[in-house]
Chains A and B, each alone.
Chain A
Amino acid sequence: MTAPAASPPLAVPGVLATAWLVARKDLLIEFRTRSAFLAAVVFALIAVVIFRFSSDPTAVAPIDLAPGVLWVIFVFSGLLGLHRSFGVEHADRAMDGLLAAPVSREALFLGKALANLAFVAAVQIVAIPAVALFYDLPVGGGVLLGILLVAALAAVGLVAVGTLFSAMTGNTRLAELLLPMLALPFFVPVVTPAAMATARLLAGRPMAEMAGLLRMLGAFDVIFVVACTLAFPFTLED
């Protein structure tokens, strides 16, 4: 039997092309169901409001509260999406289908992480303006761009670690509890500098004061993206 002449030769795509295919699959599922995204956005908006009532507005200025609120919301709404990332693969044993495909495990991980990054970024795009609005933040000039840069740097590290732990906890009995328990201590070195940098941006400090914090976020990203990509195949054997 010969394949029809019109079909392209069956070639296994490269790592990045495979990662993109996996990410597109996940994003398509999310786009068609919109379940996790809507839940995460609604959660973020409710949290923005609740945090405002958790402290006396005459005692704590909104601008002092905002960086912490922003980062707590990012982390917890991110966990909602991360939990789903491998959760969807365990239903109907879809994971076995992915593993049977002739693609490298690293590409699979990068694809999953890429989809999670898109998810977290989409939630942030709603949450940052919401916090800016409700907390009356001075986001003019370069401040908003600075916050977006910090958010992007932080999101990469959060997603790398979170995707790996989602794969590890996805089929355990305590998945919903175990993922935050494992991931949150790893998020500390991301959230601390990110919240500090956000606070300085909002206070109108010059960019040079944040160089150290941004370097720390960048270093975390590089080390944990590499480490988690290399560690992922070990979580899949047999």
Chain B
Amino acid sequence: MAAAARPSLSEAPVAPPARGRDLFLPLALLGVLGALVRAIWFTPVELMQGPAQKIFYVHVPAATVGLYVGLPIVAVCSAMYLWLRDERLDRVAESAAEVSLVFLTAVLVTGPLWGKPVWGTWWTWDARLTLTLFLWFVVLGYLIMRGALEDRGQRARFSAVLGLLAVLLVPFIHLSVNLFRTLHPKAIVLKPSAPSLPPEMLSTLGIAFAATVVLFFALLRARVRYAADRELLSRRLEGEG
């Protein structure tokens, strides 16, 4: 019998669907641990910045994945939700926003930790720092608004509208923060000339990058499953199922 098949929402069972042991997340965490071990003990220390530079292997992948993978997923799912009205899209948008908030928080914590020894200051109102901070505020507002809305359909629609308006906001924040000068290091890998990193550092960055991407999707998958279970439960409590 196909007892393992996931039931659809319309025929919701009493208990959340049973799933096999999820190995994706533990494996992703192991990968991140491996990347950190390699970065800390098996990659040369940078000459000018010293050990502080190690933070680069966490900061750069987290920033890239949060800003260029997580937030675009929120935006695309928001647009598609308004078009298709599929609740799964809303759940993916919610989950991607929450996981991105975690990644952006990691960026905003590791940045000052590196900035104090290297720049001599925890924070500076630099273009990139300010842009990241404001996106963090927008994502936080998005999640708090979701928490304040009771009606499922209304929450999904308002969130999608906010997700889309945020896309329009990004170029304007970019323009306004560029009215200030920047201290932030420029791109050193993705630039027209060859990457200006020694090979060991470049390979460590590559490994850290891959581990971070896998971690993002593992967390996203776990969070989407959680959202689906929670919704199933609330439907049952409302007596709809």
Contacts and interface: CB of A to CB of B under 8 A. Distances in A.
Tell whether A and B belong to one assembly: yes
Interface of A: 161, 164, 168-169, 172-174, 178, 181-182, 184-186, 188-189, 192-193, 196, 216, 219-220, 223-224, 227-228, 231, 234-235, 237-238
Contacts of B158: 168, 235
A58 B198 CA distance: 53
Nearest to A238: B153
Given A181-B137, A234-B157, 17 more contacts: A178-B144, A185-B173, A186-B169, A188-B176, A189-B173, A189-B176, A192-B176, A224-B165, A227-B164, A227-B165, A228-B165, A231-B161, A231-B164, A231-B165, A235-B158, A237-B157, A238-B153
Contacts of A219: 172
A192 B165 CA distance: 19
Contacts of B149: 172
Nearest to A183: B141
Interface in B136-155: 137-138, 140-141, 144-145, 148-149, 153-154
A70 B9 CA distance: 53
Contacts of A234: 82, 157, 160-161
Given A168-B158, A234-B82, A235-B157, A185 B137 contact: yes
Interface of B: 82, 134, 137-138, 140-141, 144-145, 148-149, 153-154, 157-158, 160-162, 164-165, 168-169, 172-173, 175-177, 179
Contacts of A231: 161, 164-165
A53 to B, nearest CB: 25
Contacts of A181: 137, 140-141, 144-145
A189 B162 contact: no
A220 B161 contact: no
Contacts of B162: 168, 182
Given A168-B161, A238-B153, A189 B169 contact: yes
A172 B176 CA distance: 31
A193 B169 contact: no
Given A185-B134, A189-B175, A192-B176, A169 B165 contact: no
A237 B82 CA distance: 11
B176 A223 contact: no
Contacts of A193: 176, 179
Contacts of B138: 185
A173 B176 CA distance: 33
A219 B99 CA distance: 32
Given A189-B176, A196-B179, A238-B153, A172 B148 contact: yes
A219 B172 CA distance: 9
A67 to B, nearest CB: 14
Nearest to A224: B168
A90 to B, nearest CB: 13
A220 B165 CA distance: 12
